[in-house]
Structure 1
Amino acid sequence: MKNKNYKSIVEHYEDCLDEHGDNHHGVDWPNKKDALKRYEVMLDVIPKNELTSSNKLLDFGCGAAHLLEFVLKQEKYKNVVDYSGADLSEKFISLSKDKFPNINFYRFDLLDMDLSTLPKFDYVVLNGVFTEKRELTFSEMWSYFQEMIKRVFLITNKGIAFNVMSKAVDWEREELFHLPTDQLIDFLTKEVSRNFIIRNDYGLYEYTVYIYK
């Protein structure tokens, strides 16, 4: 992807980390309760009948690895989630490696690399990767989103999960990515997979999508 404007999103999150430190504000989530709900919803991409075996999961856009902190506190994910993290930010990757030195963390730009150099994962979750567009136009963010989804889907064996902001709100914030579901569905069915679930049942002004092979 020639246009690298999406890197401004990474810079925004790094600024949040510098200002707020290693907490939910440091990855620009307004409150901790909602952040924890998002982790739960992301992990629900793994079907209940697969919670008895180990699944290789990549936390794409892992930030400060808060999803891993959540996993480690949940008994039901013990021996179920084999976690790895990835981020474009060297600052976040360094922080995550310092916290969890025995976990695999990758720093790369998925749009500017050979995918054959990456391992494959059973599931990939992208929590908060597409909720903010910052200074990007909707068109720029839409193009970035499509390219990312198509490439992420190539490195998974089973499925992916991501969230975006809903259009069913009283008002929209200019810096957020409010994606119409009809536009999303048209893209997914034509270019990714017809096997997907849209979740709008967890009380936040966003929705989460699970796409399966």
Structure 2
Amino acid sequence: MPYQDVNKIIANYETLLKEKGEGAQAVQYADEASQQARFEILLQIDRDMTSVLDVGCGLAHFAHYLRAGGRNSRYTGVDVVADFVRLANRSLADDDRATVTLMDAGSDDLPGGHDYAVLSGVFNNTMTDNWGFMTSTLRKMYAAAEKGIAFNAMSTWVDFQDPDLWYVDPMEVFSFCKRELGGHPVLRHDYVTRPGGFPFEFTMYVYKQPFSPDR
């Protein structure tokens, strides 16, 4: 990711953190309910996941969501915003199975040793080369995960697009995951983030092994 994009993104989230506090709005969600709706969809890749890498974890709200649901999955979060990392680790100080690390946006690797890698909201902001950033990130996630990855993005199948956000055709992403990653993708475009809403985004799971009824 070009450094001008990294600096712009970091500045954006530092401003939100100062203005909104440590809640869901600091990581650019409308509210906690819609944030948790997305977490639930991501979790459905495998409700029994034993370990997870959270890419662009923000304030590690996903870790707290897992714990609130009674899941003791080993959790590793990575983010480029130093203030997020500091505050996330403070909030997880009593959790010996969770840690958050500052990530170098220019690094070629993500930490391995996790069943799944997940990502929420990271692809929404516009930048110099959104498609290049998405595909590069997905390659790194897929290489780092043992069983698969789950991520979301804004869909072009909408009747309105915010000029400050990035939208992508879910079928192009599906094709990339199938052809380039070599995985077994599942496209979710069937959910809303609030009752009565419109499905303006999608989530994709990419498994390393195909589904079997006895899995």
Secondary structure of 1:112's counterpart equals coil
Cα shift at 1:205: 1.5
Native 8 Å contact 1:193 1:212 kept in 2:
no
C-alpha separation in 2, matches of 1:97 and 1:185: 34
The corresponding residue for 1:64 is 59
Higher helix share: 1
How many residues in Structure 1 have an aligned counterpart in Structure 2?
198
The corresponding residue for 2:204 is 209
2:124 to 131, 149, 152: 131
Native 8 Å contact 1:111 1:147 kept in 2:
no
Percent identity reads 29
User: TM-score normalised to the size of structure 2?
Assistant: 0.85
Whichever residue aligns with residue 135 of structure 2, its letter is Q
Further displaced range: 6-15 or 61-70? 6-15
Q: Does 1:85 align with 2:77?
A: yes
Cα shift at 1:55: 1.3
Note the alpha carbon deviations across 1:121-163, whole angstroms, 9 max, x for none.
1101101111222xx24xx111111111111111100011110
Within 5 A, what are the aligned runs for 1:1-213? 3-7=2-6, 8-46=8-46, 51=48, 55-75=50-70, 77=71, 79=72, 81-101=73-93, 102=96, 103-109=98-104, 111-113=106-108, 118-133=111-126, 136-137=127-128, 140-203=129-192, 204-213=199-208
Native 8 Å contact 2:58 2:84 kept in 1:
yes
> Which runs of 5 or more residues in structure 1 are unaligned?
none
RMSD: 1.8
Cα shift at 1:110: 5.3
C-alpha separation in 1, matches of 2:174 and 2:108: 27
> Which runs of 5 or more residues in structure 2 are unaligned?
193-198, 209-215
C-alpha separation in 2, matches of 1:205 and 1:5: 28
User: TM-score normalised to the size of structure 1?
Assistant: 0.86
